[in-house]
Structure 1
Amino acid sequence: MAKKQAYGNESITTLKGAERVRKRPAVIFGSDGLDGCEHAVFEILSNAIDEAREGYGKLIIVTRYADRSIEVEDFGRGCPVDWNEKEQRYNWELVFCEMYAGGKYNNNASENYEYSLGLNGLGTCATQYASEYFNARVFRDGFEYHLHFKKGEIDGQMEKKPADRKKTGSLFHWKPDLEVFTDIDIPVEYYLDTLKRQAVVNAGVTFRFRNQAGSKFETTEFCYEHGILDYITELTDGNAFTMPQYWETERRGRDRADKPEYKVKITAALCFSRNLSRLEYYHNSSWLEHGGAPDKAARSGFVSAIDAYLKQNGKYAKNESKITFQDVADCLVLVTNCFSTQTSYENQTKKSINNRFIQEAMTEFFRSRLQVYFLENKQEADRIAEQVLINKRSRETAERARITVKKKLSGNLDIANRVQKFVDCRSRDASRRELYIVEGDSAMGSVKLSRDAEFQGIMPIRGKILNCLKADYARIFKSEIITDLLRVMGCGVEVRDKHVKDLTAFDLGSLRWNKIVICTDADYDGFQIRTLVLTMLYRLVPTLIREGYVYIAETPLFEITCKDKTWFAYNETEKADILKKLEGKKISVARSKGLGENEPEMMWLTTMNPETRRLIKVMPEDAEKTAFYFDLLLGDNLAGRKEYIAENGSQYLEMADIS
């Protein structure tokens, strides 16, 4: 055994250079998977956006190559890469090889970037470090600069020559490294979604996406001349019941008394619609997928302003409860696009911000602007109030109905009296309840003695049920076995037929069980009953199979006893493994009895105990394929079944009950 090294002063080490990213990409990019690889692209794109927003270049070109490499080109001022007298180093070293280096660290309105998306000084360097190769071409000061990197290290030297064009800008072409990320095949949809969002929040900037397909490039462009206002108009497509509004303001403040003051610019576009609900928050061009401060501000500001209007105008009924933000959001289309000179992101992936001042400023902004809007647009204000109250009352009605159904389902059910031989469990909590479908009365007796009566119910199948793929609905719903089982499950059926009678339409929320467990003997008859039950479920309630509520209980084939200890083998391989371990000892091997003959302790251990039982979840990956085999083996296609058995029957001879 290897001797462990002591944990001493020499045990502490640091990651240096490219290792800081290549060995821990999730720390910088939020993930070492595809999400992290996508975020690395956004870091480069962010710098191009910052240039365009400052007025340097109105076109950004993003290219997705067939070999999964990426290129981002902007027409800004060009990334500084030449000698830096102040730092006594080349700027390319700082930009591409130095974490937390850049021109965006001044919290005040700097001469370079007032509002910056690429603020953290990690993007270009971190992406370069995480690349198989990274090539940079920079046009500025009348020169063209070339830099080449491989796996985070400079390859050769910087090349500098007179530029052959007047336009300045930066062009970066790189390929994410599979040694860093587990997946680098960024889908087209990511680019289209990201570039469209950036076009929305960067008014007048054109984002051109080129996707290489074979030897050709498919090109898509996004540009919103009036930014979020055009986007709101596009989203609603003339179906809003209020006119789109565009509001903006600037505020100054601080997150805490001892923190520096900073500036925030707030812009919002909104309208109300009966056909669409949409809330999107952006900060410094970054889409805040998880919201944070802007979302909290919208919730507080909108509810406060609309609730005040409802009260002032007598819109509430007597003793009616207050509206919630959900009632507002159900008819609200809101896009905010804010910028600040200081931003507190929850992490490097920039999906949420938590600045206290930004939240307070936006809350007051929404509240005050809505109050003025309501005063100046009485008809629209009344329409908004009416729709919000309709949403509220609909929500409350649905909630009351849901509670009523829940009480009905979880109350003292009378199923046990109406369904012959069904044995219920004590728990009313549908998330815990398990229904065991067993064959015959003897099996039910054994299962009943071995179950946990708190959460395990039993439904016996009396004989073989109909083949539901062959029988028509008239025959199916005349079968008491089938209709009783459907009543016990409680979720109704997914077919519409005049013969359904008192069975309700399908509602997954009404299912009384968390697991439907088919428990049959491990013999020919047991397999056939199991298949018939599965066929019934597949035809009448296929959603239960699709959503993973249906299970098969594996029952052991052999009991192997040595002295006073017993092992259970579920197949020949397990049996052989156990016998090998017990080689040389006196043992007895017996074929496992049917469920009805098993001792309660054995049944609990092998079939009922959640800690030790074996359940197989029935989850068909391809519903069409499942339907095909059900129909082939149990349907009316006799010729097809004969052909299938002739071709494949030899594989199952060992399982056949032939003597």
Structure 2
Amino acid sequence: MAQVTYTEDNIRSLDWKEHIRMRPGMYIGKLGDGSSADDGIYILIKEVIDNSIDEYVMGHGKQIDIKIEEGEVYVRDYGRGIPLGKVVDCVSKINTGGKYDSKAFKKSVGLNGVGTKAVNALSDYFKVQAIREGKTKIAEFEQGNLTKDQKVKKTDEGNGTLVIFRPDENIFKKYKFRSDYVENQLWNYAYLNAGLKINFNGKTLVSKNGLLDLLERKTSNENLRYPIIHLKAEDVEVAISHGNHYGEQYYSFVNGQHTTQGGTHLNALKEAIVEAVQTHFGKFDRRDILSSIVAALSVRVEEPVFESQTKTKLGSTDMGPKGPTIRTFMKNNVGEELDRFLHRNPETKKALEKRILQSERERKEIAGIKKLANQRAKKANLHNKKLRDCRAHFSDGPRKTDEEIRLGTTIFITEGDSASGSITKARDVQTQAVFSLRGKPLNCYGLTKKVVYENEEFNLLQHALNIEDGLDDLRYNRVVIATDADVDGMHIRLLLLTFFLQFFPELVRNGHLYILDTPLFRVRDKQKTFYCYTDQERQNAIKSLRGKPEITRFKGLGEISPGEFKDFIGENIRLDPVVLNEETDIDEVLQYYMGKNTPQRQDFIIDNLRVEKDEVDQDEEEEIAEIAAEEVTSELTVEVE
């Protein structure tokens, strides 16, 4: 083995922007292309807006204007503006900022002085403008390099800061901002800062009642068992109710940061709720109290410690260097207030007790079959032919596995041996797992969670994901449905969507569920090969090649060779996220698509039926539409014996 020299020549010092560009995952998590809510381009937006929010919290500026056009982001606040002599330093020198003085920014998220520097370094264009007391200063950068440093000038504009940036396509490959992700992100800022006006691409987002508004928008009042309980104290705000859904549903925040993976503050909230209910009623199991709960939590912690750079999970145990523990704080400010609220509101107390008793009955009903099913799953896991696992897992934690690797962990849910075989051979064994379905899964709409344990395939799937008791130990960040692009494949996709929405809606709400896009056509000649995902792409490929190219129509995933598949699930992977909008009512969606044949769905199919024929008389067209409607609706609703 050749000996490797280790001399002074091996030692290299990187400047701030080189280090950020070489190791972006250390600063913004995974890069991504915008198909996931935690992709880097959204973290860049967040880092800029966080500074504007801090100004609002300090009492400066009541409005933020945000625009996104053709991949370029514009953020203008009306706070005090960066001190003019420090404009360049604040966006280009690590450990330079105004948040180190805890008196000025006592409970801010961005305390590391990195935020806008990372945005600057990872953008091929970055502009910052500060306006203070009738004067303005502008600086422009490319990939962190200063290109224009204008002198201070007079201006009539109001105080504040403007940042414009365009992510670097060399780092964020083929990125695209999804407006629904950005809007959800901005709504969270509005809920956490009641009264703040956010203008985004022509829309105005504002909240008057904070987390009460958040929970009202995220849930349907018809599905809540009692009116939302809204509690507020210094440094904490909570909104709580119970619904008819399965699982627990939480929206937690620390100093304005959306902690999608929870942390010590969320654990403390659960403990406080359980203890308050048990003390008030003198009984009840923790599992029954938290079952079907929906809650939002916002807490402000001094000098918070997070478990990763992207700040999605709180690790702090205390409210601050001289503050109480978070557990004690939550017990005193939430638990005791909840107990008092129940004493003052007997109708809510009665409805809460009824919901808990229902959860208790349901838990005891499935206890026996759950035990047997888990024993079978444990045996199957020893030699589970359905699961080809990967080495890294999302539940590993940042100390065991690099953040970017954890965020890249993916499981593909496929149907049939041929499709599973291609993906298994092509996958990255470090981060990509495969779960094979035997055939079409059960239509579980309208069934109780008992079916998850009675159906061996569903039980093995929930154990493969490790989501039986919630998302705390979810093994894969991305759960990808990978089915053929034909009628059967679409049907399987719909049945799997029903399974997750019915029993594990938090998996979808937290942005973990995706659909895999695979090419429909391969167009090639001796020199070039194009993989086309739409008919338009196919036509464009044909035009770009001379003569008569070879055109292959991929009818199923099994027809794509492992060599080709490697590209489709690697760096160029195309994923369609399953997104639940603010107003989405899961029960209504499932009833419409998966319930018994509804007149509305039949009318929709008839109205949207396309007949590939030049001339069809009206009577014949109506007859064809009626037959097709019956066939398609029966296809969508599998009768369960």
**What TM-score results when the alignment is normalised by the length of structure 2?**
0.57
SS in 1 for 2:265: helix
SS of residue in 1 equivalent to 2:74: strand
1:282 shift after superposition: 1.0
Secondary structure of 1:18's aligned partner: helix
Task: Kindly state the Cα deviation for residue 44 of structure 1 after the two structures are TM-superposed.
Answer: 0.4
Corresponding residue of 1:324 = 286
Task: Answer yes or no: is the 8 Å Cα contact 1:117–1:285 preserved in 2.
Answer: yes
Distance 1:208 1:39, change over 3 A: same
1:226 paired residue number: 209
Contact 2:370 2:453 in 1 (8 A): no
Instruction: Kindly indicate whether structure 1 or structure 2 has the higher relative contact order, using CA contacts under 8 Å at least 6 residues apart.
Output: 2
Closer/same/farther in 2, CA of residues 341 and 513 from structure 1, 3 Å limit: closer
Give 1:101 deviation, angstroms. 1.0
Distance 1:430 1:392 in 2: 29
How many Å apart are 1:10 and its aligned residue? Answer: 4.2
Residue 389 of structure 1: aligned partner: 357
Residue of 296, 320, 323 corresponding to 2:267: 296
State the SS of the aligned residue for 1:72: strand
Question: In the TM superposition, what is the alpha-carbon distance from 1:237 to its structure 2 partner?
Answer: 4.7
Q: Check conservation: 2:66, 2:73, Cα contact below 8 A.
A: yes
Instruction: Give the 3-state SS of the residue equivalent to 2:138 in structure 1.
Output: strand
State the one-letter code of the partner of 1:71: Y
Give the Cα–Cα distance (whole angstroms) in 2 for the partners of residues 152 and 324 of structure 1: 51
- Written as runs of structure 1 = structure 2, the 5 A alignment for 1:231-630 is 231-239=214-222, 240-250=224-234, 265-274=235-244, 278-311=249-282, 322-325=284-287, 327-358=288-319, 359-360=326-327, 361-404=329-372, 429=380, 432=383, 509-511=455-457, 543=492
Contact 2:264 2:315 in 1 (8 A): yes
CA distance 1:6–1:306, change in 2 (3 Å):
same
- Among 79, 90, 94, the alignment partner of 1:95 is 90
- Secondary structure, aligned partner of 2:190: helix
Cα distance change of structure 1 residues 544 and 76 upon mapping to structure 2, 3 Å threshold: closer
Work out the CA distance in 2 between the residues paired with 1:184 and 1:494: 36
What letter corresponds to residue 279 of structure 1 in structure 2?
A: Y
Q: Secondary structure at the match of 2:318?
A: helix
Aligned to 2:516: none
Distance 1:158 1:4, change over 3 A: farther
Q: Residues 77 and 511 from structure 1, CA distance in 2 versus in 1: closer, same or farther, beyond 3 angstroms?
A: closer
How far apart are residue 175 of structure 1 and its match?
A: 0.8
Cα distance in 1 for residues equivalent to 2:181 and 2:155: 34
Residue 379 (structure 1) shift: 3.5
Q: Do the aligned partners of residues 155 and 543 (structure 1) sit closer, same or farther apart at CA in structure 2, a change above 3 Å counting? A: closer
The total of aligned residue pairs comes to 409
1:158 to 1:512, Cα distance in 2 relative to 1, 3 A = closer
What letter matches 1:269 in structure 2? A
Aligned Cα RMSD in Å?
4.0
Residue 189 (1) aligns with residue 180 (2): yes
Q: Deviations over 1:180-231 (max 9, x none)?
A: 3345322212211100111111101111111xxxxxxxx2221002211233
Partner of 1:155: 147
CA contact (8 A) 1:140 1:168 kept: yes
Matched, 1:174 2:165: yes
- 2-structure distance, mates of 1:544, 1:13: 50
Retained in 2: the 8 A contact 1:37–1:183? Answer: no
1:190 to 1:11, Cα distance in 2 relative to 1, 3 A: same
Change (3 A) 1:268 1:544: closer
> Does 2:177 correspond to 1:206?
no
- Residue by residue over 1:520-550, the C-alpha shift from the partner in whole angstroms, topping out at 9 and shown as x without a partner, is xxxxxxxxxxxxxxx9xx9899859998xxx
Asked whether the equivalents of residues 491 and 506 of structure 1 are also in contact (C-alpha less than 8 Å), the reply is: no
Matched, 1:36 2:7: no
- Residue pair 1:324, 1:392 contacting (<8 A) in 2 also: no
Question: In structure 1, what is the equivalent of residue 16 of structure 2?
Answer: 17
Q: Deviations over 1:116-146 (max 9, x none)?
A: 2332211111211111011122211211222
Contact 1:430/1:512 (8 A) holds in 2: no
Residues 230 and 428 of structure 1: CA distance in aligned 2, closer, same or farther (over 3 Å): closer
Aligned to 1:463: none
Structure whose CA Rg is larger = 1
**Post-superposition shift, 1:16?**
1.0
Cα offset, 1:236, TM superposition: 4.5
Shift of residue 506, structure 1, vs aligned partner: 11
- Of residues 37-46 and 359-368 in structure 1, the stretch that sits farther from structure 2 once superposed is 359-368
> Residue 115 of structure 1 aligns to a residue in which SS?
coil
Partner of 1:106: 101
SS at match of 1:386: helix
Using structure 1 for the length normalisation, give the TM-score. 0.55
Deviations 1:284-317 (A, max 9, x none): 1111101101211122111112122332xxxx5x
Taking the aligned partners of 1:233 and 1:134, their CA distance within structure 2 comes to 38
Aligned mate of 1:145, from 137, 143, 155: 137
Q: Which runs of 5+ in 1 are unaligned?
A: 83-90, 211-218, 251-264, 317-321, 411-426, 436-488, 497-504, 516-534, 548-613, 622-659
Alpha carbons of structure 1 residues 306 and 64: separation in structure 2 relative to 1, 3 Å: same
The letter for the 1-side match of 2:285 is I
Match of 1:73 in 2: 76
Residue 131 to residue 379, structure 1, CA distance change in 2 (3 Å): same
Alignment-derived partner of residue 115 in structure 1 = 107
Aligned to 1:394, the other structure's residue is in SS state helix
Structure 2, unpaired ranges of 5+: 34-38, 320-325, 387-436, 445-450, 462-483, 497-561, 569-573, 575-641
Alignment CA distance shift 1:10-1:303 (3 Å): same
**Cα separation, 2, equivalents of 1:154 and 1:232:** 44
8 Å contact from structure 1 (residues 491, 509) kept in 2: no
Q: Could you tell me how far apart the structure 2 residues matched to 1:544 and 1:235 are?
A: 25
State the shift of 1:495 in Å.
Answer: 9.9
Task: Measure, in 2, the Cα distance between the counterparts of 1:355 and 1:76.
Answer: 30
Question: How many angstroms apart in 1 are the aligned matches of 2:217 and 2:367?
Answer: 33
User: Does the Cα contact within 8 Å between 1:269 and 1:336 map onto a contact in 2?
Assistant: yes
**Percent identity over the alignment?**
21
The residue identity in structure 1 corresponding to 2:105 is Y
One-letter identity of the residue aligned with 1:347: S
Q: d(CA) in 1 for partners of 2:142 and 2:268?
A: 46
Change over 3 Å in CA distance of 1:13–1:116 after alignment to 2: same
Q: Confirm or deny: 8 A CA contact 1:58 1:204 kept in the other structure.
A: yes
Q: Secondary structure at the match of 2:175?
A: coil
Residue 332 to residue 92, structure 1, CA distance change in 2 (3 Å) = same
CA contact (8 A) 1:29 1:36 kept: yes
Secondary structure of 1:51's aligned partner: helix
Distance 1:339 1:309 in 2: 27
Task: Call closer, same or farther: CA 1:151–1:544 in 2, change over 3 Å.
Answer: closer
